[in-house]
């Protein structure tokens, strides 16, 4: 290959490392800081109260269950549930106890992962001189790992088994106390805050039904069976409600955009580094 | 796979040391070993001598992601157990003496720190691991079973724990766990013997929770000398706190925009703090931080700016300013009894370990000079100082004049049916060699050393640059033409070769990037797709290349992220592409249309559904370690299919506990006594070749071949025993009874039951042949009888010869050595052979070259005589002094093989086949 081409490629690679990489890193930092602000949590123990947002959860064409949830940062600080009991048709009202909060671990994890990514980027500011492509690749790998973890935490809720939900302590959060045949579960799925209410009926030991305990799942279907504190239950009704949380949507978009930026930078570095390396060899 | 069969790995490392970008490190309590974890998931064990010379000993394979933390996992000095955790949530318990994996588990969450702690349960000490990571609790894990027992919870602002330390109190029975959360809140849990007993009853909440305003906390350590102060290192400052009420005593910002990454107390009044660049600073604390001083706590409550700063005492800097691609890891370890002074150990991205010995009585030094590194060695340096250099599988064929290093092998595939190894090299050429013979050249001394271009090989040239992947489709499915070999390169092309004629059949140029993977579609695809292979390229495209039509029938491109996994839904005619960002693309194979593109739960569900539909065809080859693991599982599946006709019980079922032990009752053999598997620790590394010897399969092959010879006489081991008992009558069976006597002696050291087992099993074969033997004259020295299938015979015998020569304990008995060389035709190894050990769940430890180099002595150089001495010394030690588990396996293999060979007519490796060479 011509010497001129080699010079041009080397120059281009140098430009990439010294100019372009920092430009992308700056852009990434800006986007991620924006994303991190969406999580709006008090940082560093300073008890600056995060703002409270209320969401009305409902499911289309169903009036058996209604819920109003108040989200403060990563915690649900208030919850009001209206349940229409299937047999009595009586509407029951449950709310969180005053002293209780339910933390949505998914939000906290996502926030922590983003902050880790920002920390990694901040350590390589404009004054830092990248000398090799592999240095950039290593940094991008680390940042992308955190970003994809952050996004995955929001897009893939934990798969819980019914006994796990029953023992999670969520049932003890309410006043009046939830009846034993009701289970609730909160989680984030993509940009939505979700609430599932399971109505159970007790399986008599004499029952002829084949007992088969259900495994872990995000959403259990009617008919799922489980055993909890020596009692067998079957899910009779499932009510699933959700509500879009706008800032979660923003955060997810920011994650996706930054992941793409990272990958594009990686692709550029790999292509150019390989190019210059191969030419040097020939 | 690491089930009930006796499989012994032998490694050919090549001259280039594997990439080892150190992510965490640990010094064992007795200071005999350093353990390092790397970003690619391997763990390296380094022996360390009292004079601080270091020598790498073994590499442990098992983790599929970056190793995040290491901790000791047993208190006793007899059991050297460590636990390792990886980014993907895996935890492994290793015996670092053997390199054996004892237990492993996988959690959904990542641990970033583990500390070992002993609880008193009743009167017994129970080992526990306290883990923290990407979750808001501290998990208490059983150190033997790796089960999560319970967790330490937070009531007030629970959040991830960034670092943690355990404070052992001499005054009370109560030990405390002090941790700092990512939001800078200090939390204290009291752990007493009661805690361990209340496991399921009540949750364990923190005793105290106090904001200390420490952002990005890197480490927290307790002063063992005064028992009164805590050092908290954050990225931009470090602080000393009173351990009693956690009030701030002293705070030091970083200079010149440096980032602190950790620190510890060196003595009562000195701390050492290190930076991301690998520099370390020793500070003398002001009097207000020293409990012994009258001025202790005098500055509590003052503004941070008004505190008296500590005095910079000494600087420790990296000796060589070699370029690093990521920050090094530094740890401080206290001296152990009288042997060692305090050690500061640093591991970096080039696989280098640096050790500073920090004397107790440290004089204040000129900052410019600082403390010098005591020892420093990288994995590559350890490889370089060896003579002869560590061998690669086809080094003798890859030497280029005027260039020091041989051409690197960048891709390989082993074709067991022909015993051939296909190696793609960095210059674009492909070499096909008989695997056993090339391994003999690399490992053993002999006349073959004088031959140029030995063993006979074939070179295919067509690619213009590095070969990245090779595939022999016939091996995966018999529907493919057995002549076809497929190669992919960095020149974006995929080439079909005729392996027998060496002809290039077709070049596909459909991708816009380097080829990264070549795969075979599953059986039940449409007829058209069945004759395709699937190629994946670094431009994030996937192609279906038809070998029959010689054209690309589908190209799925424009994926935004690198392709991580390819799965199939043959019933729906779908090709499912999983990308590294978690997105999944579903393509229709027939039309090439994108059916859908999904993310999140749906994506996970689609991928899982493919697994359910087709459990055997999982193809996630993105990571080399996964690659290996799957290759192993696949092999055992193939082995299940190839159940041999003869039945021979497993030799030592109790040797390797297998999780599939219930299934293990099935006798499973593969026809292949030798498997060659190429592994890469890092995708950019050249291939390392591991030869897996299946002792059982080898014995079966030997016996089958023996049985297929009409004029042969078979001597059962019982006969042998009689023969060697009445030694005068026996004559020179097996080229001398002394060998037999010695084998006998070694055999007696092995458990009686194993021996009986072995003998019982051979009865069956004997039965079938007895009649034939009655006809023929039992002539023991009938070495002239020609085997029917010359090539097959040579292949098996060559494998046995290679294996026995590597296993024999050279140098223990010089008379026996002579005998082995002259009469049995065994060959001496060039240098100590790197063995390996397979343990549960596909975990594997491979010895590094020069693992038995005496630590602390200069390496042998130049003088031929002294080199030979060192070799013989090293060999004896190497085979029988390294690890109990390895030695047991070797003894079992040697005895069982020797028994088999003794029972054969032509029981010597001396033959004329070496001169002729293989006919094919």
Nearest CA to B879 out of B819, B825, B805 is that of B805
Residue of A46, A156, A260 with shortest CB distance to B601: A156
B529 pLDDT above the threshold of 90: yes
Mean pLDDT of B577-589: 94
How confident is the model over B341-360, as pLDDT tens digits? 889 999 999 999 999 988 87
Q: Is B564 exposed, middle or buried (0-12, 13-18, 19+ CB in 10 A)?
A: middle
- Any chain A CB within 8 A of the CB of B151? no
* Distance from C-alpha of B291 to C-alpha of B299, rounded to nearest angstrom: 13
pLDDT band at B778, cuts 50/70/90? very low
B182 touches chain A (CB under 8 A): yes
- The domains of chain A are located at 1-41+51-281
Of A170-184, B139-153, B655-669, B802-816, give the lowest mean pLDDT range: B655-669
In the predicted structure, residue B859 carries a pLDDT above the cut 60: no
Question: What is the per-residue pLDDT for B388?
Answer: 84
The residue whose two tokens read 């017994």 is: B124
SS3 A3: helix
**Mutation site for B-interface testing, chosen from A112, A152, A280 by largest number of B Cβ within 10 Å:** A112
Backbone angles phi, psi at B134, to 5 degrees: -85, 55
Q: Smallest CA–CA separation between A113 and chain B, in Å? A: 9
| B303 close contact with A: CB closer than 8 A | no
Strand partners, B515: B537
**B334: exposed, middle or buried (Cβ count in 10 Å: 0-12, 13-18, 19+):** middle
Q: How far apart are the first and last CA of chain A?
A: 8
Separation CA A155–CA B287 (nearest Å): 53
- Number of folded domains in chain B? 2
| Residue B124 CB burial class (10 angstroms; 0-12, 13-18, ≥19) | exposed
- Residue B113 inside a domain? The answer is yes
For residues B778 and B360, what is the distance between their CA atoms, to the nearest angstrom?
76
Residue range B708-713: mean pLDDT, rounded: 55
Indicate yes or no: CB of B184 within 8 angstroms of CB of A44: yes
HEC sequence for B101-122: EEEEEECCCCEEEEEEEEEEEC
Nearest one of B688, B70, B53, B687 to B382, comparing CA atoms: B53
Tell whether A238 is within 8 A of chain B (Cβ). Answer: no
User: In this predicted structure, which of A179-193, B289-303, B382-396, B689-703 has the lowest mean pLDDT?
Assistant: B289-303
Q: Token pair for residue B771?
A: 């009649």
Q: Do the chains contact at B259 and A145, CB–CB below 8 Å? A: no
Of B569, B566, B568, residue with least CA distance to B577: B566
Please list every residue in chain A whose beta carbon sits closer than 8 Å to the beta carbon of residue B321. none
Which chain A residue's Cα is nearest to B465? A278
Mean of per-residue pLDDT scores for chain B: 78
Q: Which residues pair with B129 in a beta bridge?
A: B116, B141
Residue B447 domain-assigned (yes or no):
no
Chain B residues whose beta carbon lies within 8 Å of the beta carbon of residue A122 = none
Task: Please identify, among B360, B380, B400, the residue that sits at the C-terminal boundary of a domain.
Answer: B380
> Out of A44, A144, A189, whose CB is closest to B213?
A44
In a domain, B332, yes or no: yes
Look at residues B645, B651, B640, B639 and name the one whose alpha carbon lies nearest to residue B900: B651
Q: Tell me whether residue B892 is exposed, middle or buried, using C-beta atoms within 10 angstroms of its C-beta: 0 to 12, 13 to 18, 19 or more.
A: buried
| Nearest residue to B367 via CA among B308, B282, B477 | B282
Kindly tell me if the per-residue pLDDT of B753 is higher than 80.
no
B685 occurs within a structural domain: no
CB atoms within 10 A of CB B877: 16
Interface membership of B211 toward A (CB under 8 Å):
yes
Q: What is the pLDDT of residue B240?
A: 92
CB distance A109–B235 less than 8 Å? no
Both tokens assigned to B831: 């240098």
Query: How many whole angstroms separate alpha carbon B847 and alpha carbon B837?
Result: 9
Give the minimum alpha-carbon distance from A55 to chain B in angstroms, rounded to a whole number.
23
Task: Decide if B599 touches A, using CB distance below 8 A.
Answer: yes
Task: Tell me if B477 is assigned to some domain.
Answer: no
Q: Which of A139, A148, A278 sits opposite B465 (nearest CB)?
A: A278
Confidence of residue B716 (pLDDT cuts 50, 70, 90): very low
Buried/exposed code over A86-99 (b: 16+ C-beta within 10 A; e: otherwise): eeeeeeeebbbeee
The C-alpha torsion from B506 through B508 and B514 to B515, rounded to 10°, is: -70
Please report whether residue B744 resides in a domain: yes
What integer pLDDT is reported at residue B317 of this predicted model? 83
Cβ proximity of B635 and B414 under 8 Å: no
A152 CB within 8 Å of a chain B CB: yes
Q: B872 pairs with which residues across the strands?
A: none
Q: Tell me whether residues A263 and B560 touch, CB distance under 8 A.
A: yes
Higher pLDDT, B201 or A72: A72
Report whether pLDDT(B624) > 70: no
**Residue A127 forms contact with B (CB below 8 Å):** yes
Residues facing A175 on adjacent strands: A95
Q: How many CB pairs under 8 A join A and B?
A: 84
For residue A258 the two structure tokens come to 């930054």
Q: In 3D, which of B185, B206, B187 has the Cα closest to residue B195?
A: B206
Contacts of B514 in chain A (CB under 8 A): 274
pLDDT at residue A278, as a whole number: 59
- Across the interface, whether the CB atoms of B136 and A105 are under 8 A apart is answered yes
Out of A44, A131, A148, name the one closest to residue B323 (CB).
Answer: A131
Domain end point (choices B380, B395, B411): B380
pLDDT: which is higher, B559 or B312: B559
Q: Is A218 on the interface with B (CB under 8 A)?
A: yes
Taking CA atoms, what residue in A is nearest to B277? A123
What DSSP character marks residue B99? Answer: T
Give the ipTM of the model, two decimals please: 0.90
CB B715 within 8 A of CB B778: yes
Helix (H, G, I), strand (E, B) or coil at B604: helix
Task: Work out the pLDDT band at A104, boundaries 50, 70, 90.
Answer: very high
The answer to whether the beta carbons of residues B109 and B125 sit under 8 Å apart is no
B213 to A152: CB separation less than 8 angstroms, yes or no: no
pLDDT at A167: 86
The answer to whether B259 faces chain A, any CB pair under 8 Å, is yes
Burial A10-24 (b: 16+ CB within 10 A, else e): eeebeebbeebbbeb
Provide the CB-side half-sphere exposure for B477 (13 A, CA). Answer: 15
Q: Is B73 exposed, middle or buried (0-12, 13-18, 19+ CB in 10 A)?
A: buried
Q: Which of B364, B380, B396 is the last residue of a domain?
A: B380
Residue B230 exposure: Cα atoms within 13 Å on the Cβ side: 27
Range 59-98 of A in CB contact (< 8 A) with B: none
Give the CATH number for residue B19: 2.130.10.10
- Of all residues in chain B, the percent with pLDDT exceeding 70 is 76
Establish how many alpha carbons lie within 13 A of residue A87's alpha carbon, considering only the half-sphere containing its beta carbon: 5
Helices B737-749 & B884-902 angle (0-180, nearest 10): 140
A45 interface with B at CB cutoff 8 Å: yes
pLDDT-derived band at B193 (thresholds 50, 70, 90) equals low
Residue at B308 is within a domain: yes
Check whether B597 has a pLDDT greater than 80.
Answer: yes
Domain interval for residue B821: 641-679+706-903
Q: Which helix (H) or strand (E) holds A259?
A: helix A246-281
A151 near B CB under 8 A: yes
> What one-character-per-residue DSSP string does B126-181 give?
EEEEEEEESEEEEEEEETTT--EEEEEE-SSS---EEEEEEEPPSSSS-EEEEEEE
Identify whether the C-beta of residue B408 lies closer than 8 Å to the C-beta of residue B426.
Answer: yes
From B160, B560, B604, residue closest to A156, measured CB to CB: B604
Segment holding A84, helix H or strand E:
strand A75-84
The residue of A21, A42, A45, A191 whose CB has the most chain B CBs within 10 angstroms, and thus the best one to mutate to test that interface, is: A45
Which residues are CB-contacts of B495 (< 8 A; sequence separation ≥ 6)? B462, B463, B486, B487, B488, B489, B504, B505, B506, B507, B508
CB contact under 8 A, B325 and A263: no
Cβ contacts of residue A33 below 8 Å, gap of 6+?
A: A118
Selecting from B87, B184, B581 the residue whose C-beta is nearest the C-beta of A259 gives: B581
> Which tens digit of pLDDT belongs to each residue from B730-743?
333 333 444 444 44
Q: What is the Cα–Cα distance from B609 to B618, expressed in whole angstroms?
A: 12
CA distances from B152 to A208, B121, B136, B681 (A): 43, 18, 9, 37
Query: Closest to A45 (Cβ–Cβ): which among B184, B257, B580?
Result: B184
Q: Are A152 and B582 a contacting pair at CB < 8 A?
A: yes
CA atoms within 13 A on the CB side of A17: 19
Q: What does the pLDDT read at residue B846?
A: 93
Closest-CA distance, A44 to chain B, in angstroms, reads: 5
Cross-chain Cβ contact A123/B561 below 8 Å: no
> What's the rounded mean pLDDT across residues A218-225?
89
Distance CA B270, CA B279 (A): 17
Q: How far is CA B314 from the centre of its chain?
A: 39
Looking at per-residue confidence, does A84 or A156 come out higher?
A156
């Amino acid at each position: 290959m011509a010497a001129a081409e080699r010079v041009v490629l080397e120059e281009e690679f140098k430009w990439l490392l010294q100019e372009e990489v920092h430009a992308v890193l700056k852009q990434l930092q800006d986007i991620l800081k924006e994303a991190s602000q969406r999580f709006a949590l008090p940082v560093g123990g300073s008890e600056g109260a995060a703002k409270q947002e209320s969401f009305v959860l409902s499911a289309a064409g169903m009036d058996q269950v209604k819920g109003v949830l108040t989200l403060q940062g990563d915690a649900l600080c208030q919850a009001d549930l209206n349940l229409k009991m299937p047999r009595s048709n009586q509407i029951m009202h449950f709310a969180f106890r005053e002293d209780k909060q339910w933390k949505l671990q998914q939000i906290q994890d996502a926030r922590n992962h983003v902050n880790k990514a920002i920390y990694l980027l901040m350590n390589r500011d404009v004054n830092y001189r990248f000398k090799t492509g592999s240095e950039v690749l290593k940094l991008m790998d680390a940042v992308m790992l955190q970003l994809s973890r952050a996004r995955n935490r929001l897009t893939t809720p934990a798969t819980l088994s019914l006994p796990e939900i029953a023992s999670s302590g969520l049932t003890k959060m309410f006043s009046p106390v939830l009846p034993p045949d009701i289970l609730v579960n909160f989680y984030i799925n993509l940009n939505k805050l979700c609430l599932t209410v399971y109505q159970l009926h007790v399986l008599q030991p004499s029952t002829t039904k084949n007992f088969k305990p259900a495994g872990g799942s995000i959403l259990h279907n009617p008919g799922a069976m489980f055993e909890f504190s020596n009692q067998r239950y079957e899910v009779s009704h499932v009510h699933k409600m959700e509500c879009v949380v706008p800032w979660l949507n923003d955060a997810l978009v920011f994650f996706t955009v930054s992941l793409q930026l990272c990958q594009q930078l990686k692709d550029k570095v790999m292509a150019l580094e390989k190019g210059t390396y191969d030419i040097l060899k020939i | 796979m690491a089930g009930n069969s006796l499989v012994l790995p032998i490694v050919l490392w090549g001259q280039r040391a594997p990439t080892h970008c150190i992510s965490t490190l640990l010094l064992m309590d007795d200071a005999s070993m350093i353990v390092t974890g790397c970003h690619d998931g391997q763990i390296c064990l380094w022996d360390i001598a009292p004079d601080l010379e270091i020598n790498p000993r073994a590499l442990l394979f098992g983790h599929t992601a970056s190793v995040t933390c290491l901790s000791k996992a047993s208190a006793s000095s007899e059991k050297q157990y460590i636990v390792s955790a990886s980014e993907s949530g895996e935890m492994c318990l290793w015996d670092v003496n053997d390199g054996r994996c004892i237990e492993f588990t996988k959690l959904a969450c990542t641990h970033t720190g583990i500390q070992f702690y002993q609880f008193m349960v009743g009167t017994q000490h129970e080992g526990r691991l306290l883990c923290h990571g990407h979750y808001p609790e501290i998990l208490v894990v059983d150190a033997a079973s790796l089960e999560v027992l319970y967790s330490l919870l937070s009531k007030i602002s629970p959040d991830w724990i960034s670092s943690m330390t355990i404070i052992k109190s001499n005054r009370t029975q109560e030990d405390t766990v002090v941790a700092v959360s990512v939001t800078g809140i200090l939390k204290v849990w009291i752990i007493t013997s009661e805690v361990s007993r209340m496991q399921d009853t009540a949750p364990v909440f923190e005793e105290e929770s106090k904001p200390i305003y420490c952002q990005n906390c890197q480490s927290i350590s307790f002063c063992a000398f005064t028992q009164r102060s805590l050092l908290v290192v954050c990225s931009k400052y470090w602080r000393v706190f009173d351990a009693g009420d956690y009030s701030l005593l002293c705070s030091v910002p970083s200079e010149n925009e440096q980032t602190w990454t950790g620190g510890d107390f060196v003595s009562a009044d000195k701390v050492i703090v290190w930076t991301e660049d690998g520099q370390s600073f020793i500070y003398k604390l002001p009097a207000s931080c020293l409990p012994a001083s009258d001025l202790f706590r005098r500055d509590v409550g003052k503004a941070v700016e008004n505190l008296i700063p500590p005095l910079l005492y000494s600087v420790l800097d990296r000796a060589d300013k070699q370029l690093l691609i990521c920050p090094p890891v530094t740890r401080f370890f206290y001296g152990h009894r009288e042997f060692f002074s305090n050690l500061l150990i640093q591991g970096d991205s080039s696989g280098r370990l640096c050790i500073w010995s920090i004397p107790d009585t440290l004089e204040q030094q000129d900052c410019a000079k600082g403390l010098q590194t005591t020892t420093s060695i990288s994995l590559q340096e350890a490889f370089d100082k060896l003579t002869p250099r560590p061998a690669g599988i086809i080094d003798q064929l890859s030497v280029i004049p005027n260039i020091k290093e041989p051409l690197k092998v960048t891709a390989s595939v082993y074709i067991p049916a022909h015993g051939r190894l296909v190696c793609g090299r960095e210059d674009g050429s492909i070499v096909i060699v008989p695997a056993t013979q090339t391994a003999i050249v690399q490992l053993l001394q002999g006349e073959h050393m004088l031959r140029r271009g030995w063993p006979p090989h074939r070179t295919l040239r067509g690619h213009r640059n590095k070969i990245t992947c090779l595939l022999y489709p016939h091996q995966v499915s018999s529907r493919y033409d057995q002549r076809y070999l497929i190669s992919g390169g960095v020149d974006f092309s995929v080439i079909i070769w005729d392996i027998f004629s060496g002809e290039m059949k077709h070049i596909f140029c459909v991708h816009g990037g380097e080829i990264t993977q070549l795969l075979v579609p599953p059986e039940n695809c449409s007829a058209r797709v069945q004759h395709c292979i699937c190629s994946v390229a670094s431009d994030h495209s996937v192609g279906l290349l038809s070998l029959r039509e010689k054209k690309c029938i589908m190209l799925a491109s424009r994926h935004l992220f690198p392709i991580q996994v390819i799965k199939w839904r043959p019933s729906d005619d779908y090709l499912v592409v999983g990308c590294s960002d978690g997105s999944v693309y579903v393509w229709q194979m027939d039309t090439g249309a994108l059916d859908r593109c999904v993310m999140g739960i749906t994506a996970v569900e689609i991928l899982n559904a493919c697994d359910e539909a087709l459990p055997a065809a999982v193809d996630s080859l993105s990571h080399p370690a996964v690659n290996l693991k799957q290759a192993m599982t696949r092999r055992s599946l193939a082995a299940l299919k190839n159940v041999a006709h003869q039945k021979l019980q497993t030799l030592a079922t109790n040797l390797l506990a297998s999780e599939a032990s219930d299934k293990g009752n099935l006798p499973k053999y593969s026809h292949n006594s030798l498997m060659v598997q190429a592994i890469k620790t890092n995708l950019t590394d050249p291939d390392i070749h591991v030869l897996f010897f299946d002792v059982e399969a080898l014995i079966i092959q030997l016996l089958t071949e023996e049985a297929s010879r009409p004029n042969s006489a078979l001597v059962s081991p019982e006969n042998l025993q009689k023969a060697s008992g009445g030694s005068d009558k026996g004559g020179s069976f097996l080229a001398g009874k002394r060998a037999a006597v010695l084998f006998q002696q070694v055999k007696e050291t092995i458990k009686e039951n194993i021996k009986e087992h072995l003998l019982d099993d051979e009865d069956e074969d004997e039965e079938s042949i007895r009649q034939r033997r009655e006809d023929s004259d039992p002539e023991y020295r009938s070495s002239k009888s020609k085997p029917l299938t010359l090539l097959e015979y040579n292949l098996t015998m060559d494998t046995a010869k290679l294996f026995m020569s590597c296993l024999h304990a050279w140098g223990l008995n010089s008379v026996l050595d002579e005998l082995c060389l002259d009469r049995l035709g065994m060959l001496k190894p060039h240098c100590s052979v790197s063995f390996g050990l397979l343990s549960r769940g596909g975990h594997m430890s491979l010895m590094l070259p020069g693992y038995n180099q005496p630590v602390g002595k200069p390496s042998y150089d130049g003088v031929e005589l002294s080199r030979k001495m060192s070799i013989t010394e090293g060999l004896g030690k190497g085979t029988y002094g390294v690890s109990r588990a390895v030695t047991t396996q070797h003894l079992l293999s040697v005895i069982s093989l020797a028994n088999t060979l003794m029972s054969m007519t032509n029981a010597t490796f001396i033959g004329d086949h070496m001169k002729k060479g293989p006919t094919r």
